[in-house]
Amino acid sequence: MISSKAYGSKQKREARRWFKEWSNDYDRTLGKMARHHALLDLAVKLARPKDGEQILDVGCGTGLLTLKFLKAADCSVTAVDSSCEMLAIFQKKIETLRLKRRATCKEQDAASLSFQDNCFDIVASTVALHHVKDKLPMVKKIFRILRSGGRFALGDIDLDTTGRITDPKRLRRVMDYLKDELTMALEDGGPEALSRMFDNGKKHLFNDGEYAVDFSRWANLCKQAGFGPIALRPLREFKRFKVLVAYKA
């Protein structure tokens, strides 16, 4: 089920190396942050999963979002990620928690999702899709694989980190965000979480595999892809993070 494919560019290989290295301490670092769990909870709440629905979790990592969906409704989830190490950790959880009939893991790149049209009720993703540089084709594909009445729920950082790294305004914007993010990491996960989120922050500062855009841009991409009403909700705990829900009529 989980294979090791040699696909992608040098940047993608570097991103996979990064997540391979992070996988073993993911649940002790970002996974310890209350802010992160609040984002996942908000994404699940706004996606409104119902019993019997089929959900796709894109960039599932160690499965934190999928597990929340499975708890919220009697739904089933297909979870994809480009890191086989993250997926291996999630697969162990699926087995330990006896969720095999409701959750399936697959190694797939978010930029080249290979599902048929109209096969999911919800496509959800948290803090993963900002890693995809060319976003419009991916959002169009998400639109196609959703059934009519389906929802795209996206939880991510609401911050434009793209642009020139020589731009002082950009530097200030990212530093501003990091001030709160790193403080929360230390409070919730201790020095290990601080260190990991600091390294993560550096990748944002230097545009190193991170292509975060603000949520007005995400909303625009959804409109261009054909989505109907689009709702945005900031996280109470940290307004730099938002959840967007886009509906397919």
Ligand X SMILES: C[S@@+](CC[C@H](N)C(=O)[O-])C[C@H]1O[C@@H](n2cnc3c(N)ncnc32)[C@H](O)[C@@H]1O
Interface residues with ligand X (CB under 6 A) are 15, 19, 30, 40, 59-61, 64-65, 81-83, 86, 109-111, 126-128, 131-132
User: Rounded to the nearest whole angstrom, what is the least distance from the CB of residue 215 to ligand X in the complex?
Assistant: 17
CB of 168 to ligand X, least distance (A): 27
Position of minimal CB gap to ligand X: 61
Nearer residue to ligand X within complex by CB, 60 or 94: 60
CB of 166 to ligand X, least distance (A): 26
Q: How far is the CB of 169 from ligand X (least distance, A)?
A: 26
Strand-pairing partners, residue 213, are none
Q: At what angle do helices 64-72 and 34-47 cross, to 10 degrees?
A: 40
**Complex with ligand X: residue 166 or 200, whichever CB lies closer:** 200
Toward ligand X, which CB reaches closer, 34 or 149? 34
| Nearest CB to ligand X, comparing residues 81 and 121 | 81
The 10 Å Cβ neighbour count of residue 28 is: 13
CB of 83 to ligand X, least distance (A): 3
Of 7 and 206, which has the nearer Cβ to ligand X? 7
